Amino acid sequence: MPKLKRSPGDPRGGTDFIESLDRGLRVFELFGADPRPMTLSDLAKAADLPRATARRILFTLERAGYVASDGKLFTLTPRVLALAGSYLSSNQVVTILQPVLDRVSSAAKEISSLAILDGSEVIFVARSSPARVFSSGIDLGYRLPAFCSSVGRVMLGKFSNDELEAAINAANLTPMTPYTVTDKVLLLATIITDREKGYSLVDREASVQSPCRSDVTTAPSPPPSTWERMSTASRPAK
């Protein structure tokens, strides 16, 4: 298998790093970036891998039951849901806060969602919906940039001012809509203000469909090192 060149500071160059596993995971994650079936060439190019390497990875995933192919196009199989199910069933935050989501959703008559911070994005890991309320399309596993979403700003507010400024400076502030705020100074001030208020209200910055509000929900006594994984309840703003 050909070796890919790494920059001197790349942590993937260490002796404990498994190159083949990293390549397989990179290909695996690409399926979530595009809802359409993908060809071998598409996957190899997107993963920046030789075509032969991508083919062996896809063959392995297919043999394991995670990928299906008609000979040309590749898609994920329902078996990948077992991976997500394992996370959800073993995550104490999801288990403990699901009843909170249910109460918020019932009282507000709106959809409530639970998310965690993963790098510069938020991932929705639980939700609750009252009867006869139309879903906004934010399903489990859905990702949004933290800087322009209300739930992301609430969680970024858990950082100190210095940590928050560093996170904003490191983030890719690509606008999602014409209303997305990308000015770093304004973002910093907005998130600090939201922290003081205890909630965040974002108007069409992540989506033009509707504004959204997120409120702080305290997880069960997390240590400071895990504050970046604090979850929040999110619902459409009134």
Domains of the chain, residue spans:
18-81, 91-236
- Mean pLDDT is lowest, of 86-90, 167-171, 201-205, 225-229, for 225-229
Q: How confident is the model at residue 213 (pLDDT cuts 50, 70, 90)?
A: low
Is 198 a residue whose pLDDT tops 60?
yes
How far apart are the C-alpha atoms of 17 and 201, rounded to whole Å?
41
Helix (H) or strand (E) holding 132: none
- Residue 202 bridge partners (DSSP): 212
Half-sphere exposure of residue 28: CA atoms within 13 angstroms, side-chain side: 17
Unique residue bearing structure tokens 């994005």: 121
How far apart are the C-alpha atoms of 104 and 235, rounded to whole Å?
9
Q: Give the pairing of strands 112-118 and 232-236.
A: antiparallel
Q: Which fold has domain 91-236?
A: Beta-Lactamase (3.30.450)
Q: How confident is the model at residue 35 (pLDDT cuts 50, 70, 90)?
A: confident
Is 108 a residue whose pLDDT tops 90?
no
Is 231 a residue whose pLDDT tops 80?
no
Q: Which amino acid is at 55?
A: R
How far apart are the C-alpha atoms of 181 and 200, rounded to whole Å?
14
Q: Using alpha carbons only, give the angle 99, 143, 58 rounded to the nearest 5 degrees.
A: 115
Q: Which two tokens stand for residue 90?
A: 């073993």
- Residue 39 bridge partners (DSSP): 73
Is 1 or 156 the better-scoring residue by pLDDT?
A: 156
- Out of 3.40.605.10, 3.40.640.10, 3.50.50.60, 1.10.10.10, which CATH number does the structure's domain 18-81 have? 1.10.10.10
> What one-character-per-residue DSSP string does 173-231 give?
---SSTT----HHHHHHHHHHHHHHTEEEE-SSS-SS--EEEEE---SS--GGGGGG--
